[in-house]
Structure formats: structure tokens, C-alpha cells
Amino acid sequence: MTHILAIDQGTTSSRAIVFDRSLNPVAVSQKEFPQIFPASGWVEHDPETIWTSVVETCREAISKAGDARISAAGITNQRETVVVWDKVTGAAVGNAIVWQDRRTSELCARLKAEGHEPDVTARTGLLLDPYFSGTKLKWLLESDSSLHGRAAAGELLFGTIDSFLIWRLTKGAVHATDATNASRTLLYNIREGSWDAGMLDMLGIPAAMLPEVRDCSADYGVCPAEFFGQEIPIAGVAGDQQAATIGQACFEPGMLKSTYGTGCFALLNTGQDAVHSQNRLLTTIAFRFGGEVTYALEGSIFIAGAVVQWLRDGLGIIESAAETGEMAEVADPAQEVTLVPAFTGMGAPYWDPDCRGSIFGLTRNTGPAEIAKAALESVAFQTRDLLEAMKTDWSGRDSRSPGTILRVDGGMTGNDWVMQALADQLGAPVDRPRITETTALGAAWLAGWHIGLYGGPQSFSNSWSLDRRFEPELSESSRNKAYDRWRDAIRRTVSC
């Protein structure tokens, strides 16, 4: 038994990847599922559709792997998304409320106005924003007058997607989550390492419905043979961005990774120091091994790859994402078109949920190529926003400078134009690994390490392999001129 199954449950699709003893992917299956938009700013998923997609992709990946025996499974998941289900039947009480959902904006604004945010940040490392699970859970429990009482009586269980999958895969034997997912709920005290009674009281969340919090590499029960033809222990769990941090072997303080999917998420390892950001970045848990927590600063960009989807599905100026790099290459360099993709507000370091997208610098000569270029450049500019904020927060804490090299992963990293634009705007090398499926890789390593199939963090670091390094080519004056244009566009957008 020398293979590991990685379950990667994402925002728009579920994937299963089988890794061999050398941590090479040997089989993959992926299945997209519908997004549900009940109202403006609301985003939901059907938990049953997620469950079905996970089971189907796992079966297909295992089948593709031939006679491989699966030693263990690791799970990584879209974070902050909320599911509540019946403890007896396992049926969800309603749709999952997705991390992108903004329905609790008014609640968050009210709590801020009442002066709660400094205390919330001190406890959880997070901000009062609809992004996180706690206010979504409060809304869900208040959406039906019977739910809160049932939850308090222990009849209902809460979880992020990992917990829901673990509970289903173990047939109700295990209700647990890992420290990284817990740290994104707005309910977990990241310094004390426990669910926070003050936050539960503030949001009216019954403690009886919460999962047990475990290490990232740990025992999460056994998936019986009836699902996949063989018993498979679940031995590793991490939220998607932390799993990518692990998959990029960012185990040392000062190491930085950025993942480019629907959004963009940059994590800076800060070691044992839970850095309190002065720039509205998030303090979060990078991973917990053997009960010992490693912290990170995180910057979240809501729209990265999604801006390319908008070019395709919204504007209809491309048929595939691959076209955008070629369009950017032929765009008129004399035009300074700037796109701020605030379709659902702005994430770090601005945290403005109410602003909306804008385009500046349009002329009669502006066409699809210039708009595509501006869309791709917005990813580089937003990443620089995060890195500049991280450098300020990190200043004086460690001799190692964050962002000396940026390790990248996610779907957009296949676009060489974007990667070069990143290096140019950051003024630093950008490293793309040989295995870009780092989220699944991190989950697989966590599971394999727990059962002894793979070596520990140092061994895993030694196995990390570079595909290509992108070196900056723009002069400092040129990159700063472009960034000043972006900052001006931000000022005009966020203040609207």
C-alpha cells in the first residue's frame, strides 16, 4: 500500500488525485458543480452535490490508478464555507453558504460600529467581515426558528466542508476539523487553541454543534470499504491555502507562497509569532504539527482567476483563458488602462465590501486586448499590495526579508505572461514548482507523513522541485510608475 488519495474540494469543482510513494500524481479526476446565486451578493452550494462529486471523483481516480492500494487519504477544502446538518440523518438543513457570500455585511457593519472588531481580531486574528464562517452560521441558525434550539440540544452539527466530508466518509463516527480550518471560522481563539466562549456568545452559536479540533497530520477516522472498495484511513486535513503553503514547503519563517485560483491568497510564515497586522492583513494558523502551532500572515484577494472568467462569460471577448496572455502581448503599450476587479468588494489590505469594480484610462482605441492586459495586470498589482503590507508588518521581527522569492501555484500559474508581470511588479523572482497542484500535494503529504509513508518536513522540503523561475525585467522606475497608476485607481474605487 504505497499510494495516497488527496481529496481537493474547491469552490467550483471537486478533484481527487492519487499520489505514489514518491509524491508524484498518477491519477486525477475532476468534476465541476453548479454555483447557486439566490440573491445579489449571495453564493450557495448544494451539500449533496458536493458530496456526490467527491465520491465520484475519488472512485474515478482510484480506478484510473489501476491496482494501486490506497494507504491513506488527505482532505483539503474551500475554507469558511458553512454547512449545518442533522446529527442522526446526516442531511444538511439547507444549502452551504459559500465563503464569497456577502449576506452578513450589515451584521458585520453593526458589530464594527459597536466597537467589537479590536477584540475579535485579538482573539481570532480575523476581521469582522462576511468572508468568515461565524456570521454566516449565525444567519443560518436564525433563518429558521427551530434551528437554534436543535443546535443547542446537540441535534445539529456545524462544520466547514472538511468536517462535513469527514463525517460522511466515516459514516458519522468522527466530527472533527483541523486547526487551520478552525482558525477561519471567527469562532476559534488562535492563541489559546480552543473554541472561544466570547465569540460563541457574541454570535449566539451553541458550542454543542462544533467539531473537535485536531492537528493537520492526525487520525480522522476510517472510510469504510463500501465507498471505494477498500478501507482508507483519513490522516491529513488542511484548508486549501494552508495545504498549498505546506505543499510549497514553506516551513520556515519568512517563506511566502501565493495561490492563484478563483481568488488569490498569499501566506507568509511567521513561525511561533502570531503577528498582529497594522495593515489589515489576517493573522492565521499556517499549520499545527504535534500540537505546536505555526502562524502566518495572510492576504486575501477576492478576484484573481475569476477576472479571466469574467472576460469569457461576462464580456465574451475570449473563448478560453489561454488567449489572455497572447492578447496582453499585442496590447497597445501606449494605453494605460487599469482595471480594479472589485466585483464583490476588495479584500486585503482594503477590506471594503461595498465598493465595486471599475475601469480607468479607456480611449476610443481601447479594445479587447487592452482590457485583457489590464485584467491580468490587476492580479500582479493586488499581489504587490499584499507583499508591501506584509513587509511593513514583518519589519524588525526577523532578519529574513519576506518575499525575497515568491512561490506560486494554482491555475493561473500556467500563464507565463502573468507570472512575468508578477516578477516585474514585485521586483523579485517568482518560482513555479514542477508540481503545481500544491494544494492536493500538501494534503497528500500530511496523510502520508502521519502513517509513515513519507518523511517529515525537512525531507519534504528537500523534494520540492522548481519548474521555472521568472526574474524581474522592468526597471524600478517603470514598475513604480505602473503601480502608482494602480494606487490612483484604488483611491478612486474604494472611496466611491
Segment 375-387 mean pLDDT? 93
Which range, of 57-66, 304-313, 397-406, 484-493, averages the lowest pLDDT?
397-406
Alpha-helix runs per DSSP H in 264-343:
305-309, 323-330
User: From CA 38, how far away is CA 18, in angstroms rounded?
Assistant: 35
What is the predicted pLDDT for the residue at 402? 58
- Ramachandran region, residue 280 (left: φ > 0; alpha: ψ -120 to 50; beta: rest): left
pLDDT confidence tier of residue 398, bands split at 50, 70 and 90: low
What is the predicted pLDDT for the residue at 100? 85
Segment 462-489 mean pLDDT? 92
Task: Give the pLDDT confidence of 322-342 residue by residue, as tens digits.
Answer: 889 899 999 999 999 999 998
pLDDT confidence tier of residue 133, bands split at 50, 70 and 90: very high
**All cell numbers assigned to 58:** 475519488
pLDDT confidence tier of residue 306, bands split at 50, 70 and 90: confident
pLDDT confidence tier of residue 379, bands split at 50, 70 and 90: very high
Kindly tell me the number of DSSP H helices and DSSP E strands found in the chain: 17, 23
pLDDT confidence tier of residue 396, bands split at 50, 70 and 90: low
User: From CA 340, how far away is CA 119, in angstroms rounded?
Assistant: 31
105 — phi, psi (to 5°)? Answer: -60, -45
What is the predicted pLDDT for the residue at 488? 93
User: From CA 463, how far away is CA 309, in angstroms rounded?
Assistant: 34
Residue 400 has pLDDT above 80, yes or no: no
What is the predicted pLDDT for the residue at 496? 57
Please say whether the beta carbons of 345 and 102 come within 8 A. Answer: yes
The interaxial angle of helices 117-124 and 105-113, nearest 10 deg, is 110
323 — phi, psi (to 5°)? Answer: -70, -25
Segment 378-392 mean pLDDT? 91
- Omega into 402 within 30° of 0, i.e. cis? no
pLDDT confidence tier of residue 296, bands split at 50, 70 and 90: very high
pLDDT confidence tier of residue 55, bands split at 50, 70 and 90: very high
Task: Give the pLDDT confidence of 136-176 residue by residue, as tens digits.
Answer: 999 999 999 899 999 999 999 999 999 999 999 999 999 99
Segment 91-108 mean pLDDT? 92
Q: Give the rounded percent of residues in the chain with a pLDDT score beyond 90.
A: 72
The interaxial angle of helices 368-394 and 476-494, nearest 10 deg, is 90
* Between 425 and 306, the higher pLDDT residue: 425
